[in-house]
Amino acid sequence: MCLAIPVQIISINDTEADVKVGGITKKASLWLTPQAKVGDYVLLHAGYAISIIDEAEAEETLSIFREMAEKMEDQWQ
């Protein structure tokens, strides 16, 4: 199973971006999404931004991930 996570681009240097999610900043390749710009939300998979998504979709997906994490955390306590 593959999973792509919505992240927001905070800076771009050539074909590499700094992206942020949940207070964590990572590097991402923009080779597959060269039209992406600072402020855009992209789906990050295996270090690559694979598509640009709108903010509402990104926030909804992140909210679902947070819910899932909370439920899993409750199970382990």
Of 26, 27, 21, which Cα lies nearest the Cα of 8?
Answer: 21
pLDDT digits (tens, 9 = 90+) for 48-64: 999 999 999 999 999 99
Would you place residue 71 in the very low, low, confident or very high pLDDT band (cuts 50, 70, 90)?
confident
Cα 73 to chain centroid distance, Å, stands at 21
pLDDT value at position 25? 97
Give the C-alpha separation, 11 to 24, whole Å: 14
pLDDT digits (tens, 9 = 90+) for 21-52: 889 999 999 999 999 999 999 999 999 999 99
Q: Which CATH number fits domain 5-75: 2.60.40.1180, 2.30.30.140, 3.40.50.10800, 2.60.320.10?
A: 2.30.30.140
Would you place residue 14 in the very low, low, confident or very high pLDDT band (cuts 50, 70, 90)?
very high
